[in-house]
Structure 1
Amino acid sequence: MRRQIIVLFCSLFWFAVPALRAQEAVQQPVQQSARQTAPNRGALFKVAQNGHTLYLFGTIHVGAPDFYPLEERVLGALERASVLALEIDPLADPGRMAQAVQQYGMYARGAGSAQGALPAPYRPRLERLLRQYALDADTVAGMKPWLLASVLTVSEFSAQGYDTALAVDAWLARQAHQRKLPVLELESPESQMALFDRMTADEQSRFLQEGIDAIDDHQQASQAREIADAWRNADAAALDALARKAADDDTFSGRFVQRMLLDARNPALADGIAALLARETDSLAAIGVLHLVGTNSVPELLRKRGLAVERIY
């Protein structure tokens, strides 16, 4: 299972599109009739301790218009919450996001290019994909290979009809900002991007090569549909199967994503959620759904702390 496709569900890749699009996130009216009929999406857990309750919702970082409105229990948790916790706030300062991209995702002027880091046979394949996705060569020229691989992933999702501007995180953030509800960031753009920049130059090249391979052999397209459908239908069995595939993936990018973007991040996410539960009587946390399934998932880590964790769906 090629894993750049999974990256999009582990980290928030708002930097792959103009920050302005975050301000255009879908705004669906929350009507009672819609709330009564909206289906379950993603995964939802209830965490409780000492009379405090936190709902933990699994998101994906892209969206489609038919994702909304979310179902009644998620909307109710949002209405009752005194704080909304996200991995990062996609509606926060775009200048901060741009600075993190520059620091971790871009070469210093004249220091290299993602195209130049690729073996010669991959370069025409990359050029074809840039044309296919209408990505300006000058714009991507200074990107490090890991960032360009991520942009290609976002572009493939867009080709399949999914849009980062309609991401579930952004929809929730929009509701919170409109209600003047505080948004707590469990991570930061800098911490997320720094994980990718830990790869050596050769590893980043391999990461990009595997991303190009995944697009060319149509794995990314089929996996995009598979993951989005699992989230759209709150299909617990399908989500658990995706977690098993992720754990069994022995490609370089697969091992990197499992080790660095899931296993390394889940304890800190669990720490932040546990602290929020202890502090607030009612709260809502929404993080990538793959953090909520599989071995050493966030719910599993919270149970090990002695918290009462119930999977609602």
Structure 2
Amino acid sequence: MRRPIIVVFLSLFLLAFQSVAAERGALFKVTDKGNTLYLYGTIHAGRADFYPLEPRIRAAMAAAPTLALEIDVARDPAATAAAFQQHGLFPAGSPGYAGLPPERRLRIETALKKQGIDPAAVAPMKPWMLLMMLAVADLTRLGYHPELGVDHHLAQLARGGKTRIAELESIQYQAALLGGLPMDEQWDLLEESLAHMASGRQLREARELFDAYERADQAALDRIARRMEADDSVGGKFLRRIVWDERNEPMADKVASLLARENNAVVAVGLLHLLGKKGLPELLRQRGAKVERVY
């Protein structure tokens, strides 16, 4: 009799441990006027051992009539390619890197070579596009891959069931927003980012964010939010303006609208959109919703 009891106890213990260990990111329950919505903070790259997701977000997905993502990258690959072509590459006839003052061009090209990148190979890319490529390379070094991103996984779950996928933004909007940054600012951002890559700061901060995501570490995420609020570097100001000022307000309006017309929807957006005083949870509270943190 004793052995079966021990086996059952150990099974329950391991099940409980696995459930707690599988909590990643941040999950909020949002309610207003009788409707409920789950707001989930994701990352856009991942590992195979992230899956399956923890039981509460899986249950929310199973009951969701709609999954709202920033964008559904798999919906229209041709539109994605066209947006990057239009907003991510220098137009024909543009001097691009050749138009930079010689000293600055040398600094940037030298920094690119230190990262193992041939400047000639990336010369058609605007600085913001190159920064995205560099960020993906950093994530790969840390062992995370875009094809295993959490939002991509959720979209696959939705397509495998009866859940509709909605977009809070569009790839055209995102690319136009970044491509429309003044070129001087884009060059400043590229040069600063290359310096942070050389010093190890960029990889260190990326690792900190992913570690906080993997542990659903509220204290660590709050520290990251405070650092973002106080960061007066070119990249810090850029991040606040693009993520919090330009994107979060219209995104919050769309989430509030979804909550008003549907029950049990799931909204999954990048974790940084949920942090700080201008994060989506706070913006939804300001719009009258009740927001509870699940983890």
TM-score after normalising by structure 2: 0.89
Spell out, residue by residue over 1:243-274, the C-alpha distance to the aligned partner (whole angstroms, 9 max, x if none).
11111111112101101222221111111111
8 Å CA contact 2:65, 2:162 repeated in 1: no
- Structure 2 residue ranges without an equivalent (≥5): 1-14
Partner of residue 57 from structure 1, selected from 36, 40, 44: 40
Contact 1:114 1:148 (8 Å CA) reproduced: no
In structure 1, what is the equivalent of residue 80 of structure 2? 97
Q: Which moved more, 1:33-42 or 1:265-274?
A: 33-42
Who is 1:8 aligned against? none
Q: Structure 1: where are the runs of 5+ without partners?
A: 1-31
* Amino acid corresponding to residue 50 of structure 2 in structure 1: F
Match of 2:49 among 58, 62, 66: 66
Whichever residue aligns with residue 60 of structure 1, its letter is I
- Secondary structure at the counterpart of residue 105 of structure 2: coil
Per-residue Cα deviation, 1:87-126 (whole angstroms, up to 9, x for no partner): 0012111100011101111111341334764532221221
1:12 corresponds in structure 2 to none
Q: 1:172: how far off?
A: 0.5
Contact 2:31 2:289 in 1 (8 A): yes
Identity among equivalent pairs (%): 44
Q: Which residue of 2 aligns with 1:120?
A: 106
Distance 2:176 2:182 in 1: 12
Summarize the alignment of residues 256-271 of structure 1 with structure 2, pairs less than 5 Å apart. 256-271=238-253
Q: Encode CA deviations 1:251-310: one digit per residue, 9 max, x unaligned.
A: 112101101222221111111111111111211000111111211211111111111111
Q: TM-score, normalised by structure 1?
A: 0.84
User: Paired residue for 1:275?
Assistant: 257
1:286 alignment partner, SS class: strand
- Structure 2 equivalent of residue 167 of structure 1: 149
Answer yes or no: is 1:87 the counterpart of 2:73: no
Q: Contact 1:104/1:194 (CA < 8 Å) preserved in 2?
A: yes
Which runs of structure 2 are paired with 1:173-188 in the superposition (5 Å)? 173-188=155-170
Partner of 1:233: 215
Match of 1:204 among 164, 167, 186: 186
- Alignment partners' CA distance in 2, 1:119 and 1:139: 15
Q: Which residue of 2 aligns with 1:28?
A: none
Distance 1:212 1:263, change over 3 A: same
**Structure in which a larger fraction of residues adopt helix:** 2
Counting only pairs closer than 5 Å after superposition, residues 293-304 of structure 1 correspond to structure 2 as: 293-304=275-286
Bigger Rg, which one: 2
